[in-house]
Amino acid sequence: MGLSPSSLLDEHGSNYIRGCAEAELKEFSPHYRTQYSVVFFSQIQDELEQPKEKIKQLLKQRGPPEAGEVLYEEQVLHFEATRKWEERYVVVRGNYCLECHNSFETFVKGVPPRHKLLPTGGTVLTTEEKYMAMVDKCFPVSETNNVNEKFAPPIIGMPGQFPVYLRLPYRRDYYFCFRQDARQAEFLSILSDCIRHQNQDFLKKKTVEVQAFLKAIHLYRQEKGSYDSWKMLIGSDVRVLANLVMEELLPSLEKDMLPHLKARKTERKRVWFATVEAAYFLVQECLFKGMSALKEECRKAAHQQEVLIRSDMDQILNSRTYLEGKLRASVLEPAEKFCSEGVQPYLASVLEELMGPISSGFQEARLLSDSQMDQLCQDFQEGGVTNELKQALAKLSRPNLLSCYQRINSLHDQLHDLQERFGFSNISSLVHSTQIDLQQLVENAAYTFHLLLYKDIEDNPGNACSAMEKSRHRVLKQYDYDSSTVRKRIFHEALVGITLPHIKKTLAPTYKTELQGLKQLVCADYSNFVHVHNIYEGILLQILNKEVIKVLEEAARLKKHNLFTDTRDLLSQSSCSSLFSTPFIPSNPARMLGFHGQLQTQPETPTFIQTHPETQPEAEPQPPSLLSQRGPPGWGAR
**Domain closes at, from 187, 218, 237:** 187
Range(s) of the domain holding residue 255: 11-51+202-323
Residues 241 and 147 in one domain: no
CATH of the domain at 117: 2.30.29.30
Question: What three-state secondary structure class fits 72?
Answer: strand
Residues 23 and 47 in one domain: yes
Indicate whether 22 belongs to any domain. Answer: yes
Residues 142 and 166 in one domain: yes
Is the separation of the CB atoms in 401 and 442 below 8 Å?
yes
Indicate whether 438 belongs to any domain. Answer: no
DSSP H helices in 88-207? 104-108, 128-138, 181-200
Instruction: Determine the Cα–Cα distance for residues 355 and 605; give it in Å rounded to an integer.
Output: 20
Alpha-carbon distance values, 252 to 261, 269, 272, 541 (Å): 15, 17, 13, 38
- What is the per-residue pLDDT for 587? 33
Residues 174 and 147 in one domain: yes
Residues 167 and 112 in one domain: yes
Residues 146 and 226 in one domain: no
Residues 315 and 241 in one domain: yes
Is the separation of the CB atoms in 589 and 46 below 8 Å?
no
Residues 120 and 23 in one domain: no
Which of 223, 221, 226, 225 has the alpha carbon at shortest distance from 240? 221
Residues 80 and 41 in one domain: no
Indicate whether 484 belongs to any domain. Answer: no
Looking at the structure of the chain, the number of domains it has is 2
Indicate whether 36 belongs to any domain. Answer: yes
DSSP string for residues in 475-538: HHHHHHHHHHHHHHHHHHHHHHHHHHHHHHHHHHHHHHHHHHHHGGGS-GGGTTT--HHHHHHH
Indicate whether 109 belongs to any domain. Answer: yes
- DSSP class of residue 604 equals P
Note if the pTM is more than 0.75.
yes
- What is the per-residue pLDDT for 151? 44
Q: Which residues of the chain have pLDDT under 50?
A: 1-5, 143-153, 567-638
Indicate whether 194 belongs to any domain. Answer: no
Indicate whether 129 belongs to any domain. Answer: yes
Residues 81 and 170 in one domain: yes
Residues 151 and 219 in one domain: no
**∠ CA(563), CA(564), CA(570), 5° rounding?**
130
**Domain closes at, from 277, 292, 323:** 323
Indicate whether 513 belongs to any domain. Answer: no
DSSP H helices in 258-312? 265-311
Residues 289 and 207 in one domain: yes
Cβ-in-10-Å burial (0-12, 13-18, 19+) of 186 comes to: middle
Cβ-in-10-Å burial (0-12, 13-18, 19+) of 463 comes to: middle
- What is the per-residue pLDDT for 609? 30
Render pLDDT for 131-152 as a digit per residue (tens, 0 to 9). 988 888 887 755 444 444 444 4
Instruction: Determine the Cα–Cα distance for residues 398 and 442; give it in Å rounded to an integer.
Output: 8
Report CA 301 to chain centroid distance, whole Å: 30
**Domain closes at, from 271, 288, 323:** 323
- What is the per-residue pLDDT for 385? 65
Question: What three-state secondary structure class fits 210?
Answer: helix
- What is the per-residue pLDDT for 155? 63
